[in-house]
Amino acid sequence: MKKILLILLLGLTSVIQAQAQPMKIDWQDLQGKVAPYQDPFAKLTEDQLYNLSVYGRITEMKKLFPSYDITDSMLKEAEDAKAQLIKENIDIDEMFAQRDIIMEKRKKAALVTNDLLANKEIEMSGYMLALEFDNGEVSEFLLVPTIGACSHKPIPPANQLIYVKAKKSIAAGSPYMPIKITGTLRITPSTQDLYLVDGKKEIKMAYSLEDAIVEPFIATH
């Protein structure tokens, strides 16, 4: 009987310990589910996307800024791009009609969060983009998925940014230092001003994590 009770006790202890462990997640887990939609631009090659952007940009410049000095070489570049798209059976008018619709759907998808992670104890890695420094140490920062995000690279979607307040400040070894964070994830859409060399940027984020345990991240192979 004692042996059975011991086994049950050990089993219960293991369950409690397992439950106490933070959930290890990655950046894809932060993305909420969205209704699937067809993106006609996904099928285009890089050259086709480039030709569309060239033709669209110069065409819109002619329409919106008629007084702007559009050179003959720019007009020829636009016509060459158009001719190549027609040759490849790309419906230019349909693409431009779909552009605004797709952009709006992408914006909505960027804001969708994973509600299953709300108030869960999580562990994940990323790169630290400091918001403030205090004698070389950082206690508030953005956790971003890639090096250079928000500064010299495009700003990630809101559901790919986490605003972090560390339980204990950490020495900022380098810009975009790889780190691991552990703590309770909150879904708290907010906006933060980020001051960079080239000016101020308004950053939208969908998640936050306070009293986080922050550690340098060392990749294991």
pLDDT band at 165 (very low <50, low <70, confident <90, very high): very high
Instruction: Say if residue 193's pLDDT is above 60.
Output: yes
What pLDDT is recorded for position 20? Answer: 67
Please state whether beta strands 121-130 and 137-144 pair in parallel, antiparallel, or not at all (unpaired): antiparallel
SS3 174: coil
Chain segment 29-88, per-residue pLDDT in tens:
999 887 776 778 888 999 999 999 999 999 888 888 877 788 889 999 999 999 999 999
What pLDDT is recorded for position 196? Answer: 66
Average pLDDT (197-206) is 79
Chain segment 22-38, per-residue pLDDT in tens:
999 999 999 988 777 67
Tell me which DSSP letter residue 21 carries: S
Distance of alpha carbon 178 from alpha carbon 167, whole angstroms: 18
Instruction: Say if residue 19's pLDDT is above 60.
Output: no
CA distances from 196 to 126, 159, 193, 207 (A): 20, 22, 10, 22
What pLDDT is recorded for position 42? Answer: 83
pLDDT band at 119 (very low <50, low <70, confident <90, very high): very high
